[in-house]
Amino acid sequence: MSESAEERFHQSPASSPLWCPPTDFFLQTDDFSDLNYGQSLKSDVMNNAQKLINDKYVGMNGLEATVLAPYFEEKANTWHYYEGKKFQHAYPPSAQIHHTGKGHWVLSYKSVDSQSVYLIDSMRSAREALSPSLQIQLAAVYGHTDNLLNINMPFIQQQRNSVDCGVMCIAFLVEFCEKGHQGVLSANFDLSQIRSHLLRCFGKGDITSFPQIAHKLRSNVRCKDIQLRLHCICNMPESSI
């Protein structure tokens, strides 16, 4: 029986890479260490989780590499893009994990029957709601219909520390793919198990719903609505600095 990636992590030198059969993605030992020892997740983990999800849920659009998030170069007073590439418009159903540029991961998605983009933030009370980089990303992925982008931020389950935003984004993304928007709203993940579950998913090369704790479903979920005004020609935010 072949070893899982998780098993090989415990046997490999810290500097050696790990390949995770049967998929063709690539993670470093440090990435597994971050997962195993409760650290913030880097883009390689987020991108490879999105790849597993993209391979499994073939009808889900978006899910591009998170490195496409723009960053602002203050000396040049301009936005820069990785290799000049930008996020592409994604028709619903679509989803995307975003790095906000503020050391934080969030999830966005749009259903076929929805007029709004949903923004899922598991640490919303301590973070800027829409950073300039995030505004640009949302506009690129979803802002190709009119001059206003409606963004809905529901009050979902929150993380209990400062480092679980990445793994919770992945967990919520799987819920959206499996059960749609209502699955995200009702999710109550077992936060003590989410990292070990993701490790097992990488080891198997197959991602499944994250473990949850039974709870009483909320009858009404509070939401915050934001309107992002876009330029009529380029579909970029009017204020993004």
CATH of the domain at 185: 3.40.395.10
Residue 46 lies in a domain: yes
pLDDT along the chain (241 residues), means of 10: 42 39 63 91 94 95 93 74 85 96 94 94 73 91 84 93 96 98 95 96 94 78 80 51 43
Residue bearing tokens 């991108």: 47
Range of the domain at 41: 5-229
Q: pTM of the full predicted structure? A: 0.83
Residue 239 lies in a domain: no
Q: Is the dihedral of CA 190, 56, 3, 43 positive or negative?
A: negative
Kindly state the helix (H) or strand (E) to which residue 120 belongs, with its residue range. Answer: strand 117-120
Structure tokens at 2: 């072949």
Residue 108's φ and ψ, nearest 5 degrees, are -125, 155
Residue 236 lies in a domain: no
What is the rounded distance in angstroms from the CA atom of residue 148 to the CA atom of residue 11?
A: 52
Residue 62, judged by CB atoms within 10 A of its CB (0-12, 13-18, 19+), counts as buried
pLDDT the model gives residue 125: 60
Contacts of 121 (CB under 8 A, 6+ apart): 104, 106, 107, 127, 129, 153, 156, 165
What is the rounded distance in angstroms from the CA atom of residue 229 to the CA atom of residue 240?
A: 10
pLDDT the model gives residue 241: 43
pLDDT the model gives residue 127: 53
| DSSP structure class, residue 108 | E
| DSSP structure class, residue 102 | S
pLDDT the model gives residue 129: 67
pLDDT the model gives residue 10: 39
Residue 241 lies in a domain: no
Residue 237 lies in a domain: no
**Residue 83: helix, strand or coil by DSSP?**
helix
pLDDT the model gives residue 13: 34
Domain count, the chain: 1
| Start-to-end C-alpha separation, the chain | 53
Kindly state the helix (H) or strand (E) to which residue 182 belongs, with its residue range. Answer: helix 181-186
